[in-house]
Structure 1
């Protein structure tokens, strides 16, 4: 009769794993995390509120002043009663008087929209070339385009004027569109090149397998994915040309072609050098309206377009 050693049989039985310990989280650490999170939220709210005040107060003050008379604006000691007096006289004088602000707004719209469209088209084509094709000297050429962003156009405005004058493009809205497109094109190429690089090339390869050509792939397949970049390029070009003053002053001499910034400057030349600040502030508010509307409408595309290409993988 064979006997077994209880100690040996116990050694052969696998040990049961110990149950995981259930430790109660420390109350102090949880309270500290909540306090830290509450502090971050408070700082975020306070910072956002201060930034909103800094940006909105000048705009609201301009709108408030545009509905007041010139005497109330230039008063050295403004009273509460004067601030409460509102009138539409400034806007009526702008649109019905001798300021001819309607023509100036039309000229600015033609120039700004033309610049935005031309810059977006050329930047998209150039960005497609730099983002999808590898050719000798491509990196150097793209670097030269980016470097031109660091050169202010005021430094080259004299040779540009001589060139455009030789081509007969001065005193022309078309010449102004070409000038603004040239100035804004480097930024547009930079944005669109990053936009193309953020899109996987397999999407375009699949379109080619289905029989789509280069132009068809660009228009039908890639275009919906490029909307943020295109909107960013067009919005930047529109805002830059809408508010630009020196280029319009240099290339335009016919007052019938004056853009809105030039017309607002002419408002300052009143009788005996007097300036009607009511008209001037009202004109500035008119100039702000398209910028605010476009930026609010395209804000999400603008942010996405600037961030395109920042993260790859």
Structure 2
């Protein structure tokens, strides 16, 4: 009898013990996640607060901006008065980023669909060759790219910069879109063909909505990389009116007697962060789904 009672007591206490462990692990998870989030957000908050420091403080090294003596937008005014205004250079960056995203999406969709659904000679070799270009450092081919654009008359143009950025994004983008198309059952296409859908309509109306997360991922990657890229824009653009925001940061960085104008730099970085954060927050669900497309297969 005593053995039965003890076993019943142990079985009753087991769920309570499991619930206690679950609550402990959940609390530990939330505390850890909060600390990690604070660790990543701290530099962003630092940059934003430093951009609103007073002129006397903005020329100092970037030490933690607390306590602040006062609130000032002089850093943004200096950034606005440099060259042709920050809106002009933001327009250049937006043109390059949007153009890179659009061109990369179109080419990646066509190439990914072809590698996923069609058979042709040396298909595997061609796909591996495309992926192998990801192992080539961009800096090692910068000089040939500069000479090639000069021969084509596209050096010192935003269109040439779009072509360069799209070329650099295509290997990863083609890989992503092929995986996205592979995750779609072929029976869906067969059913659409029986209904008379074929060609471009098949790709746009039937396959397009199904691979939309992959398209969002490719476009977001291309946009962020083109928006933040610095080296190619610095080398290929010589006309100040065509500078993108990252190049503008180097031009506006130095103040009087070669001192670093930290206020203007932090103001520019703050403005550069805004589109990236907005896009990621809006598209984060599709972005995560696109990264995991085909992983379970």
TM-score of the aligned structures, taking structure 1 as reference length: 0.87
Corresponding residue pairs, total: 289
Q: Does residue 267 of the first structure (1) align with residue 291 of the second (2)?
A: no
Cross-structure match for 1:66: 51
Match of residue 189, structure 1, among 156, 161, 174? 174
Cross-structure match for 2:3: none
Match of residue 188, structure 2, among 189, 200, 203? 203
Q: Does residue 220 of the first structure (1) align with residue 205 of the second (2)?
A: yes
Seen in structure 2, the aligned counterparts of structure 1 residues 79 and 206 have a Cα distance that, compared at 3 Å, is closer
SS of the residue aligned with 2:154? coil
Cα shift at 1:77 = 8.5
Cross-structure match for 1:29: 14
CA distance in 2, matches of 1:76, 1:183: 33
Q: Structure 2: 5+ residue runs without aligned partners?
A: 1-6
CA distance in 1, matches of 2:49, 2:226: 26
Cross-structure match for 1:157: 142
Deviates more, 1:143-152 or 1:225-234: 143-152
Deviates more, 1:31-40 or 1:241-250: 31-40
Cα shift at 1:71 = 2.4
Seen in structure 2, the aligned counterparts of structure 1 residues 87 and 219 have a Cα distance that, compared at 3 Å, is same
TM-score of the aligned structures, taking structure 2 as reference length: 0.92
Deviates more, 1:142-151 or 1:293-302: 142-151
Cα shift at 1:84 = 5.0
Deviates more, 1:140-149 or 1:294-303: 140-149
Cα shift at 1:76 = 9.2
CA distance in 1, matches of 2:153, 2:61: 48
Do 1:127 and 1:193's aligned partners in 2 also have CA atoms closer than 8 Å?
A: yes
Q: Structure 1: 5+ residue runs without aligned partners?
A: 1-22
Match of residue 125, structure 2, among 132, 135, 140? 140
Cα shift at 1:168 = 1.3
Deviations 1:32-52 (A, max 9, x none): 322321232122102211111
Seen in structure 2, the aligned counterparts of structure 1 residues 191 and 76 have a Cα distance that, compared at 3 Å, is closer
Do 1:70 and 1:276's aligned partners in 2 also have CA atoms closer than 8 Å?
A: no
Deviates more, 1:143-152 or 1:153-162: 143-152
Do 2:55 and 2:74's aligned partners in 1 also have CA atoms closer than 8 Å?
A: no
Q: Structure 2 matches for 1:45-194, cutoff 5 A?
A: 45-73=30-58, 74=60, 83-98=68-83, 100-194=85-179
RMSD over aligned CA atoms reads 1.9
CA distance in 2, matches of 1:156, 1:266: 25
Seen in structure 2, the aligned counterparts of structure 1 residues 268 and 96 have a Cα distance that, compared at 3 Å, is closer
Seen in structure 2, the aligned counterparts of structure 1 residues 159 and 46 have a Cα distance that, compared at 3 Å, is same
SS of the residue aligned with 1:26? helix
Cα shift at 1:97 = 4.6
CA distance in 2, matches of 1:78, 1:145: 45
SS of the residue aligned with 2:184? coil
